[in-house]
A and B are shown apart, each in its own frame.
Chain A
Amino acid sequence: MNLPEPDRRDFLRTTALSAAASALAARVAAHGPTPPGGTELPIVPGVTWDKAPCRFCGTGCHVQVGVAHGKVVAVSGDRQAEVNKGLLCVKGYHVGHILYGKDRLTTPLLRRDGKLVPITWDEAIDVIAQRILAAPDKFAFYGSGQWTVAEGYAANKFIKAGLSNNHIDPNARLCMASAVVGYISTYGVDEPYNCYDDLDYCDVLILWGNNFAEMHPVLFSRFIDRKLRGDAITLIDIATRWTRSSERADHVMIFQPHTDLAIANCIAYQVIEAGAVAREFVERHCVFRKPWKKPDDPQTLLGEPCSFDEYKQLISTYTPEAVAQMSGLSVEQLRLLGRLFIDRSKKICSVWCMGVNQHTQGTAMNNLLHAIHLLSGHWGRPGDGPQSLTGQPSACGTVREVGTLAHALPGDLRVDNPEHAELAEKMWNLPAGRINRKPGYHTVLMWEKFCTPSEQGGDIQTLWVQVTNPGQSLPNANKLFEAKQRLPEKFLIVSDVYPTTTTRLADLILPSAMWVEKNGIFGNSERRTQQWFRMVNPPGEARDDCWQIIAVARRLYDLGYPGMKDKDGKFLFHMTDDHGKEVEIWKWDQYYGRINVDERLYEEYRPFTKIKHKDVAPYSELVKSRGLRWPVVQQPDGSWKETRYRFIEGLDPYVSSGKGVQFYHSVGKDDRAVIWFRPYVPPPEIPDAEYPFWLDTGRVLEHWHTATMTGRVAVLKRAMPSGYIEMNSEDAAELGIRNGELVRVQTRRGALELPAWIDGRGRCPRGHLFVPFFDENRLINRLTLDAHCPFSKEPDYKKCAAKVVKVTA
């Protein structure tokens, strides 16, 4: 074969990648889908088992749910699930308990004269419809990465197609918005190109500010258990505090908060210094960009093109010696990271979650992680690449893919792109111009507007919250949530399953069905769409969130609100049975029965996913599988095939033949990924003489986020009963604080008393504090900062300045 040089190289690369693809296929053939040990489940009279994804994090483990006499009685790891291969974490094993907390909300409650009184669903729906009718443009929807796909889709259609209002944003804004913007500005399209299989193939796993062992325990085990099987793997923990992940790490690198930007740039510097840039790959598949024309200008999202020489010049100040000074890592540690990326024989997987995303430079940090992998050629082989992780079960499936964001439409369309809006209007059969072209308020702004008096520009009057607990999870909660108490004209609607910090201030509470009390679809962190069926009935009057939205939409329709009709005058959620007869799904007794509303909404949504080649699988295929990773494409034999690695020929069906690697939605429409230069920028608040500590917040293994569910499970509550403040032992000694003693932590925004935990599960370096946010009696988010990334609008919960004093009785 006598190919010209670049083509020959590409051919070799393609061949190598195809070989990897075959190896993958062989592995699947050898190990799946039937796991070793068979798939039998306990055979107990009266117990039936069915699959469902776990209700908690973004990992997307599958569980088998045992149901007897209409109640969930047991949960088992699902051995047919590729994600978890039968293993769960302690939350997952006890996920069945979350349905049965004694204080489940079972009836709609309206606040009258300060007291919550039970009302009927009919009254509740009417209250919402009247609030919306009074001011449709001052209504906002605050949703969730725990919304099922159908719920998010219905909410998005309801507000954008129905109310011509784009004030819809999810809690996922607080969680992975930086990853989204990082992917879009690097590859032109959102979500990882790779998948969890990287954990099975990598030689080195780098955790970037990510306590993997506690936050994604099943994935952590998937990697770390390879050591028991004799695999020579290395774990590197780049962190700001010592955690359970550090315990298993081969190298723990504790850095000064926020200097991760410099550390990533230092790796790029060393790759260039050593002449280890993956020249062929970079020349053929990448371009360089810088964030401004010249260094003193403000950074922009799409920046300016720059040459490799210029990039090299910009990165030249990030020498190991200089970065060691600012980051607190030693030159040797930085050199170790450099050597890893210089050596292409080892496959490196970088994973990150909140440490990188909840960052005032979150987009920049995401860009840099992609950049060091692209630049060094540690990209594309299974096991060799960067991958972000999500914290909610459908942050990807519902928020990112359905587009329940203030600027987005399903299928990665944008409201402010006229072509996109027109396309969505066509697909939804709407009159031209129905979709408002102006993006709505992002999360922080939405709550700021809701908590500001109307006469001072607070133009959100009614806010409907579903499947999330912003009273506890919003940053700077005194400003963004508690201020609502003083604004009687504002109206807060909360759909939830238990009383929470948020329902405390609600004017109307709607009791919701949860998890296996309803049909649902989630999409996990690795592009896997997962479906489950309703297995038990919700308690009392509790009803599906999706039904609640449709019922309000119908009430508005009945009241003559024109937006709830499509171009032909049909109801936006018009559905018919097999005989073409309309099913009145806004009536609860018809919501389940003749048709599967979840399936109908999903199938209505599915064509949107083809626009950006994110084809989700047909519902009927999801029913049969433990989730499928998009794009899922039909084969000539009629079967459906999922995609493990995108943009790579032989693995992704949308890569043109002969391209090898093709970023087919690239930023510059040139099939190239962007290698970004993003400089170190100091954080907005830095410890000083008055507030000398860094305050970091986060999660623990036993509780999920604000613990409204896990806090009602005795096993989990007993394992982790209350919030605490983690302190460095020397700092504590200097302040006269002993283990277990009560400490008052204060920032410029609030103060909180907590018991100190010194040298416990996690260990802070000097000058650093850590407080978990799960405890509803100790609301640390009243102290955190609402400063956010300029591009992703994601706040930084990981660093602000604080002081601590011992509480003396």
Chain B
Amino acid sequence: MEANHPAPGGHHADRLIPAGLRRFIPILATTGMALGVVGFVTGIREPLPPPKQSRPAQTPEGPAHSAVDYADVPAAPWKRDVPRSLLESLNSSRPGIFDLVIRTDEMKQAALADRAKNRAFDGAPPTIPHRVDSSSAVACLACHGQGLNVGQRIATKICHPPFSNCLQCHVEQAAGKDVSVVDNLFAGLARSGPGERSSPGAPPTIPHHLFMREDCLSCHGWVARPGIRTTHPWLSACTQCHVAAAGENTFPPSGAP
């Protein structure tokens, strides 16, 4: 990705510059590139003075981020703070629609475990695993509208029609000292899958309800955790083959004592 960045300095310069000055070109070019890299890195970080700290109860964990080589940018710890415009330009890891999708059981279990990490039970709205500095739906949808995949990080595509008040249901999680005192014995419903297959190779049924999970591509699309991605993204009418588990309608309510 970093290779796509326009190289600073100029390759055409040597033809335009008098021969006597050409021996300075490597020095000029190196200086120019260095300035460019420094400028770039500086530009994409939040303005330093004054350092904006928007959570009183949150103390930064670990050491401050130090500058990194350009080659290390993808793994740099500050990349989570990279502005949206850059994230979009980096969105090159989206696979092609006909690319081979490799899925293994291990990948599937890993994906499901990862998915369960920020849900209190199956069906709970996931919590937000990153900092939120703007509460507007536009800000959320910038990444989650279509989904985004940067390196190992995935911003899942929104799975329900957008509402305007995202933070009504999805909340940020601060790792504060106070929190460890929460001792709760609630044992949430685990995931409801897997779906049933009428015969080996038959399309599985949908084992979960579809309310608030209307868009299958959120979890199963190309921008999704690899282990539960569809193997056939070119087919878009999911419910043509996958049906909701044959089910009883539980209304009127059952189980009333």
Contacts and interface: CB of A to CB of B under 8 A. Distances in A.
25 contacts: A48-B254, A49-B250, A50-B254, A50-B256, A73-B189, A75-B124, A76-B211, A87-B169, A90-B169, A90-B171, A94-B120, A96-B188, A102-B183, A213-B168, A244-B167, A624-B252, A713-B120, A713-B182, A714-B179, A714-B184, A715-B173, A718-B176, A718-B179, A755-B56, A760-B54
A39 interface: yes
Interface in A184-242: 213, 217-218, 220-221, 224-225, 227-228
Given A221-B165, A225-B164, A227-B164, A719 B185 contact: no
Interface stretch (B84-92, B150-158, B241-249): B241-249
Nearest to A227: B164
Contacts of B252: 624
B229 to A, nearest CB: 22
A178 B214 CA distance: 44
A715 B120 contact: yes
A43 B245 contact: yes
The 5 tightest CB contacts between A and B, nearest first, are: A755-B56, A719-B171, A102-B183, A74-B189, A721-B176
Contacts of B250: 40-41, 48-49
A756 B210 CA distance: 43
Q: Is the interface of A mostly helix, strand, loop or mixed?
A: mixed
A715 B186 contact: no
Interface in B134-153: 135-136
Nearest to A51: B253
A628 B175 CA distance: 43
Contacts of B210: 37
A88 B163 CA distance: 12
In this complex, which of A42, A248, A701, A759 has the most chain B Cβ atoms within 10 angstroms of its Cβ?
A: A42
A740 B164 contact: no
B158 to A, nearest CB: 13
Interface in B17-31: none
A712 interface: yes
Interface in B165-203: 165, 167-176, 178-179, 182-189, 192
A42 B184 contact: no
Interface stretch (A63-71, A269-277, A438-446): A63-71
B57 A724 contact: yes
Q: Is the interface of B mostly helix, strand, loop or mixed?
A: loop
Interface of A: 37, 39-44, 47-51, 66-68, 71-77, 79-80, 86-90, 93-94, 96-97, 99-103, 213, 217-218, 220-221, 224-225, 227-228, 244, 247-248, 533-535, 592, 623-624, 701-702, 711-722, 724, 738-741, 755-757, 759-761
A534 B255 CA distance: 10
B108 interface: no
Contacts of B208: 42
B179 A97 contact: no
Contacts of B99: none
Contacts of A72: 186
Given A93-B169, A96-B121, A717 B182 contact: yes
B174 A43 contact: no
A739 B56 contact: yes
A719 B56 contact: no
A71 B164 contact: no
A718 B188 contact: no
Contact of A89 (B168, B175, B182): B168
A490 B251 CA distance: 51
B164 A90 contact: no
